[in-house]
Amino acid sequence: MADCSRNGGRLQFVPVLPPIITSLNFSFNNLPHLSSDFFSNVTQLSFVDLTGNGLVSVDQHAFRGLDNLTTITLDSNFLDFNSLRPVLNVSTLIQLQMRNIRNITFIPENIFIEFPLPNLKQLVLAGSNLGVLYLSDFKPLKKLTYLDVGNNRVHTLHVDTLPTLKYFVFTANRIEGDFITTCSDNNTSLFPMLGYLSLRSNGISSIHKSVCLPNLKILYLDSNKLDYLQKEMFLKFPKLQVLKLVRMHSYIKYIDPRAFANPSLENLYMSDNKIYFSSESISAQMFAGCPRLVLLQLDNNNFSSVTDAKFQELFGGHPELRKVYLGINQITNVTISTFKGLSNVEELNLYSNPIKDLPDGVFDHLVNLTILRLDDNLLSEIRETTFSVSTRQTDADENVSLPSVIAVVYLSDFVMSDQACLLSQSTSLLTAVLAAVLVVFMLTFLVLYKYRWHIRLALYEAFQRNPQQQQQQPEREYEYDVFVSYANEDVDWVRQELIPTLEGSETSLSAATSSTTSAPVCTRPSVSSLCCRRTSPGALVSVELVFCQNYVMERDDVLVLTLLAPISGRDMTDAISAMFKTTTYLAWGEEDDAR
């Protein structure tokens, strides 16, 4: 596939592609109009994705020459059926997908008679604004097997026969009342080949009328208004294998005996319905007549106060039952008789229940159990005697794949250590608190160490320089006003330029000089102290610097630093580094007249 998506409108045509490339992703490119020569460089394409381009119009010859084109995706554009005519004229199309095109408010009558699309098998019109839908509009599509008109605003559905249709998606529409009509006037099926039907998120509240779906295997009725499941209401679907009744708009309050009776039913999903299974209106015989039932998902209902007898009646008598989901069901107590009727179950999910204790031998009746979920309960311990020896040593070689985030206990590998929990909850909490305190201490120490010289200077200025606490030093007379320390290579400049300038200035300063090989001398000048240094810092310089620092700090004097040349950080001692970090200094200019 060639990916030319998300170019921000900079790409207005398809460049030449290798002949081996037959799929093109040209989505999100700000392409309001599809010109006649748009695909002239890539006539070998079989798949084109034009999603999210803001398409408003298509040239009538835009797809000319694309003799192998079988799939077009036009999701999230601004087209209607009038501007779609050039697309519908592509007779080789097998799949046409047009999701979230809000400009489609109706399907023109006879549009598919004008453009019969003889090879089209899949048509998606989900997310449009269809209020009324006539299935007769799709009858000219002789090979249509998949139709998706979900997430529209269809409140009225006019049915008609679609003999080739196998998948019908009608989710999130506004059909109310009874189940959709599936029988013709002579009681034959309008959809004889239909195997998958999704009616999620509508307003269906009953299934009273006759149902003619002889090959339907998968039925989704999630989020409808069914609150009363009557006896044998699903026998109308003779080949039904998967039934979903999850999260109904009206919580299910009544379930008759044999409500789910169906000789073909294998997987039943009824989670998130808040069903009170202890209620007398919820029959313990609801699953009777389901000899092939393999999976029961009943998460997020209410099993509190359900007796062992009703529990066994609900789940017993199903020889094929292998997986049972009872998570988030407010189960508080289980006994050694609770699971007596689930001898063939291989996977039992009891997560997120307030179970506090597991009696010894509670799972002994589950002789085929290989997966058990007990996470998010209130168990303080699991005793070794909870599981029988035969249960713990059950041979389970099957490959069971579950998401890694799910806590799974493989009973074949179950071994209890002498200490079930290495750390109690209080110990774990204390460990976490101590670790947090240690981290805070280390961070604080690192910060204080980094700014230790700044802190020392701040403390000095706050306390040592307090006029009320500092002992004034007596005034003394000094022979010199300025002390200059210099390197040997600067001797000529110091004697010929610096000293004459200082002694001949208006201040008439008297300067004492010393090379770097002499001992340090620091005097108190009449105006300020001045130290000049050009050499790389060494031990002698450090002594001089510390001497001057101590001198001025003891006497509340002023220390003026003049930097004649940059100093490498690796040559600085700690004292010099601290001075440059915490004290303002003067940088001597590099110009000739400054030197």
Residues 455-492 have pLDDT tens digits of 877 777 677 655 554 455 555 566 666 667 677 777 78
Work out the average pLDDT over 236-244: 97
| Cα–Cα separations (whole angstroms), residue 205 to 159, 165, 428 | 19, 25, 52
**Better-predicted residue by pLDDT, 563 or 148:** 148
Strand-pairing partners, residue 513, are 484
Closest by Cα among 90, 103, 127, 112 to 55: 103
pLDDT, tens digit, for every residue of 539-551? 445 556 666 666 6
Work out the average pLDDT over 359-381: 91
**Better-predicted residue by pLDDT, 586 or 383:** 383
> Does 492 lie in the same domain as 392?
no
pLDDT, tens digit, for every residue of 482-523? 667 677 777 787 777 777 877 775 555 565 555 544 333 333
Work out the average pLDDT over 233-251: 95
The strand order across the sheet containing 529-533 reads 529-533, 559-563, 585-587
Tell whether the model's pLDDT for residue 411 goes beyond 70: no
Look at residue 535 in the predicted model and tell me its pLDDT: 42
The residue segments making up the domain with residue 60 are: 1-148
Q: Is residue 412 part of a domain?
A: no
Distance CA 250, CA 229 (A): 12
Tell whether the model's pLDDT for residue 183 goes beyond 90: yes
Give the mean pLDDT of the chain: 83
**Better-predicted residue by pLDDT, 171 or 510:** 171
Q: Is residue 263 part of a domain?
A: no
CATH of the domain at 551: 3.40.50
Query: According to the per-residue pLDDT averaged within each range, which of 243-257, 383-397, 408-422 is highest?
Result: 243-257
| Cα–Cα separations (whole angstroms), residue 264 to 152, 200, 220, 280, 543 | 32, 22, 16, 27, 97
> Does 142 lie in the same domain as 9?
yes
Closest by Cα among 61, 148, 165 to 97: 148
> Does 519 lie in the same domain as 386?
no
| Cα–Cα separations (whole angstroms), residue 1 to 11, 25, 46, 277 | 17, 7, 10, 53
**Better-predicted residue by pLDDT, 457 or 309:** 309
> Does 103 lie in the same domain as 6?
yes
Q: Is residue 360 part of a domain?
A: yes
Point out the least confidently predicted range of 155-164, 240-249, 525-534, 566-575.
525-534
Last residue within a domain, chosen from 373, 396, 419: 396
Look at residue 427 in the predicted model and tell me its pLDDT: 80
Look at residue 385 in the predicted model and tell me its pLDDT: 82
Q: Is residue 551 part of a domain?
A: yes
Tell whether the model's pLDDT for residue 179 goes beyond 50: yes
Tell whether the model's pLDDT for residue 572 goes beyond 90: no
Name the band, by pLDDT with cuts 50, 70 and 90, for residue 449: confident
Last residue within a domain, chosen from 114, 133, 148: 148
Question: Does residue 569 sit in helix, strand or coil?
Answer: helix
Q: Is residue 253 part of a domain?
A: no
**Better-predicted residue by pLDDT, 6 or 590:** 6
Closest by Cα among 53, 45, 48, 50 to 17: 45
Work out the average pLDDT over 19-46: 93
Question: Does residue 185 sit in helix, strand or coil?
Answer: coil
H, E, C per residue of 231-278: CCCCCCCCCCCEEECCCCCCCCCEECCCCCCCCCCCEEECCCCCCECC
> Does 126 lie in the same domain as 10?
yes
Q: In the chain, how many domains are there?
A: 3
pLDDT, tens digit, for every residue of 113-127? 999 999 999 999 999
Work out the average pLDDT over 298-322: 94
Q: Is residue 281 part of a domain?
A: no
Tell whether the model's pLDDT for residue 297 goes beyond 90: yes
Name the band, by pLDDT with cuts 50, 70 and 90, for residue 278: very high
Question: Does residue 64 sit in helix, strand or coil?
Answer: coil
Q: Is residue 572 part of a domain?
A: yes
Distance CA 569, CA 400 (A): 62
Tell whether the model's pLDDT for residue 403 goes beyond 50: no
Distance CA 393, CA 539 (A): 77
Name the band, by pLDDT with cuts 50, 70 and 90, for residue 414: low
Q: Is residue 573 part of a domain?
A: yes
Q: Please report, rounded to a whole number, the percentage of residues in the chain having pLDDT higher than 70.
A: 74
CATH of the domain at 312: 3.80.10.10
Tell whether the model's pLDDT for residue 524 goes beyond 70: no
Name the band, by pLDDT with cuts 50, 70 and 90, for residue 140: very high
Point out the least confidently predicted range of 13-22, 231-240, 282-291.
13-22
Last residue within a domain, chosen from 346, 368, 396: 396
